[in-house]
A = this chain, B = another copy of it.
Amino acid sequence: MPTNRQILLDNRPQGEATVANFKLVSTETPPLADGQVLVRHHYLSLDPYMRGRMNDSKSYAASQALGEVMIGGTVGEVVESRSAKFQPGDQVVGMGGWQEYAVVDAAQPGALRKVDTTHIPLSYYLGAVGMPGVTAWYGLVKIIDPKPGETVVVSAATGAVGSALGALAKARGCRAVGIAGGAEKCKYAVEELGFDACIDYRQHKDMYSLAKALKDVCPKGIDGYFENVGGMVLDAVLLRMNAFGRIALCGMIAGYDGQPLPMSNPALLLINRIRLEGFIVSEHMEVWPDALKELGTLVAQGKLRPRETVAQGIASAPEAFMGLLKGRNFGKQLVKLI
């Protein structure tokens, strides 16, 4: 059996997460038991939710146990199978974790899913046509539920979730406005992702300045907001929300390290009769088939052209993850493992 390099969570962050929280180890993959398959991972997905798992405190999911392989979505190829459901050569998506190989119990519902790479590159199943895409779909369709002509704003607009959000909003006849960090990302959001406008939040020193910029590109106000970051960006958007606006609260990455970031003026939620809803997509498996179908079609039609930042080799995963938390990635952050 092949040697398997793995990244374990070694210790919990004190404030900011660092690469020293992780440890790289090598193990031998065990022989397969009946019903198991061995998957060689081609790509590991890095996602903001992983930061929450590193803490011991109450979060929406169980803490990542110390000394165990970090949780993570993976795509790869079956290299050995003792299950009738999978054959060597099958391309699969799963939650294989931060490691080069995984032994998977094929009978466990949802553990492994075969995917078709005829029209869609394998790595996209970790992004636009995977969990991040479905996350955008759920927040837009089930929470924001926009009417044609409404204005929908998303933060972290060029990320895996934001990219999908923009394409899904445009497909519904909405005005789609992004917020991102840096001129290059904003240019990409408009020219490649189809956003009607994108604001570089780094050009604004406070929420009032950012709110004024939002006013210029959202002349009819903001009807729906998909929140990935929190902090000043959320404060600014709240100043421009229309009456009966909807906010899908998906992430607050700006506050993941250290002290909680406050919301400056929650009374705006009352004044504008906002509906705000926090969600995590893994609790809404019932929407995945519909969502993946629409996302796959948008990709196949060239209406959703996601960008990827790819780190090479399992050993690079911790550093790449730090970059994701700082917004240094551009589009979907992946680690290539082959």
A contacts, CB < 8 Å to B: 52, 58-60, 230, 234, 243, 249-252, 255, 260-267, 269-280, 283
Q: Tell whether, in the assembled complex, residue B276 and residue A277 are in contact, meaning their CB atoms are under 8 Å apart.
A: yes
A263 in contact with B266 (CB, 8 Å): yes
Per the bound structure, the CA–CA distance linking A276 and B270 in Å amounts to 10
Q: In whole angstroms, how far apart are the Cα atoms of A277 and B251 in the complex? A: 19
CB-defined contacts of A274 to chain B, threshold 8 Å:
276-278
Q: How far is the CA of A292 from the CA of B293 in the complex (A)?
A: 47
The answer on a CB contact under 8 Å between B265 and A262 is yes
Dominant SS among interface residues on chain A: loop
CB atoms of B283 and A278 under 8 A apart: no
* CB-CB nearest in chain B for A59: B271
CB within 8 Å for A261 and B270 given contacts A276-B275, A276-B277, A277-B276:
no
21 A/B residue pairs, CB under 8 Å, sorted by A: A58-B271, A60-B270, A60-B272, A60-B273, A230-B266, A234-B266, A249-B266, A249-B269, A251-B270, A252-B266, A252-B270, A255-B267, A260-B266, A261-B267, A262-B262, A263-B263, A269-B276, A270-B278, A271-B278, A273-B279, A275-B277
Stoichiometry (number of copies): 2
Residue of B nearest to A251 (CB): B270
Given A260-B264, A262-B264, A264-B262, the answer on whether A283 and B273 have CB atoms closer than 8 Å is: yes
> Within the assembled complex, what's the spacing in Å between the Cα atoms of A263 and B234?
12
B278 touches A269 (CB 8 A): yes
A275 to B277, CA, bound (A): 4
Q: Which residues of B contact A271 (CB under 8 A)?
A: 52, 58-60, 278
* Most interface-central of A277, A279, A280 (chain B CB within 10 A): A277
In this complex, which of A266, A271, A276, A279 has the most chain B Cβ atoms within 10 angstroms of its Cβ?
Answer: A266
Minimum CB distance partner of A283 in chain B: B273
A256 to B, closest residue via Cβ: B267
In the complex, what residue of chain B is closest to A274 when comparing beta carbons? B278
Contact B273 A280 (CB under 8 A): yes
The CA of A262 and the CA of B263, in the complex, are separated in Å by: 5
Task: Give the shortest distance, in Å, between A52 (CB) and chain B (any CB).
Answer: 8
Smallest CB gap from A243: residue in B: B60
List 7 tightest A-B contacts by C-beta distance, closest first: A260-B265, A270-B278, A262-B262, A263-B263, A263-B266, A275-B277, A252-B267
